[in-house]
Amino acid sequence: AKAEGKGRYRRFESWMDHSLAERRALERDLRLAIEHDEIEMYFQPQFACDTLQLTGFEALVRWDHAERGLVPPGVFIPLAEECGLIIQIGRMVLEKSCRLAAAWRPRCPVAVNLSPLQFRDSGFLSLLSSILESTDFPASLLELEVTEGVLIKDEEQALGTLRALKELGVQIALDDFGTGYSGLSYLRSFPFDRIKIDKCFVHAQEHDAGTQTILEAVLAMSKRLNLRVIAEGVETEEQLAMLRMQGCSEVQGFLLGRPMPASEVQAFLMSTMDD
């Protein structure tokens, strides 16, 4: 069944290249998926680079389509952003992630991805407060991952929202660092708690001394700015060893743990405590 799921997953990667009619069909299905509660959360573990102790999870959304199988977020998130369904999906993602994580023992940090549209939505802050309250999940254990896409459109407004989020007590991470134009100046101007080094960076530095130098500079500077750094997409022992040597504090990637269904998280938590 696993191999089948994988094949199906691959078939969908080029959905955005499909015809308008097909995209309409997918949009209709996505509306039904929300109604039928087919939107699920998976969780990928994050680890301390030196001790490999579990430090938290990133929540990653999945659409478990009755006939099509698992549709990856790379396909339906852009579609949801295009047709406005992202606000509803984003709300479900936040609510489910907090509700599920509130039941884990021991309690453990969870990072949730935000779409720029969700971040800019006028109801977002009050939505977040009410979710934290109704799920009883501590704000300090919630991290929101934003990309530079939330920053570029209106820096003043973005800064205001980020400050309000800090006041609620949540952590903020800058996702996909190194892929866009995010000048290093962003790191100083906005109240981030940590940055996520994009996987392209992690992969490129193995073969490219220039990338290595940049990464080392980013790590050194983050330390001085008091920013924690997590590298994502760590797939090999070599990449892990390199990041360790460079002083990166946390890692996430297939080498150490794949995204798992919510039903497996509690057992995973227990098994890492035995180590």
Stretch that binds ligand C2E, among 21-29, 111-119, 187-195, 205-213 (CB under 6 A): 111-119
Stretch that binds ligand C2E, among 14-22, 108-116, 154-162, 211-219 (CB under 6 A): 108-116
Stretch that binds ligand C2E, among 68-76, 220-228, 242-250, 266-274 (CB under 6 A): 68-76
Q: Does 175 bind ligand C2E (CB under 6 A)?
A: yes
Stretch that binds ligand C2E, among 13-21, 28-36, 227-235, 262-270 (CB under 6 A): 227-235
Residues 6+ apart with CB under 8 A from 127: 91, 94, 121
Is the bond leading into 106 cis (omega within 30 degrees of zero)? yes
Measure Cα distances from 51 to 2, 71, 101, 228 in Å.
Answer: 31, 34, 23, 16
Stretch that binds ligand C2E, among 14-22, 54-62, 127-135, 265-273 (CB under 6 A): 54-62
Q: Does 259 bind ligand C2E (CB under 6 A)?
A: yes
Supply the DSSP symbol for 72. Answer: P
Q: Does 253 bind ligand C2E (CB under 6 A)?
A: yes
Question: What mask, x for binding Ca ion by CB under 5 A, covers residues 159 to 198?
Answer: ----------------xx----------------------
Phi-psi region of 143 (alpha: psi -120 to 50; beta: other; left: phi over 0): beta
Contact call for residues 36 and 28 (beta carbons, < 8 A): no
Measure Cα distances from 168 to 28, 107, 126 in Å.
Answer: 36, 19, 10
Q: Centre a 10 Å sphere on the Cβ of residue 232 and count the other Cβ atoms it contains.
A: 21
- Give whichever of 175 and 250 is closer to Ca ion, judged by the CB atom: 175
> What span, in angstroms and rounded, lies between the C-alpha atoms of 72 and 5?
11
Residues that contact Ca ion, how many (by CB under 5 A): 4
- Give whichever of 148 and 176 is closer to Ca ion, judged by the CB atom: 176
Judged by CB under 6 A, which of 10, 13, 28, 74 binds ligand C2E? 74
Return the axis-axis angle of helices 73-83 and 20-35, rounded to nearest 10°: 90
Judged by CB under 6 A, which of 40, 143, 148, 176 binds ligand C2E? 176
> What span, in angstroms and rounded, lies between the C-alpha atoms of 61 and 36?
15
- Mapping DSSP to helix (H, G, I), strand (E, B) and coil, where does residue 146 land? strand
- Give whichever of 105 and 115 is closer to ligand C2E, judged by the CB atom: 115
Give residues 96-155 in contact with Ca ion (rule: CB under 5 A).
113, 145
Q: How far is the CB of 214 from Ca ion (least distance, A)?
A: 17
Six-digit token string for 210: 């220039």
Binding site for ligand C2E (CB under 6 A): 44, 59-61, 72-74, 77, 93, 113-115, 175-176, 199, 232-235, 253-254, 259
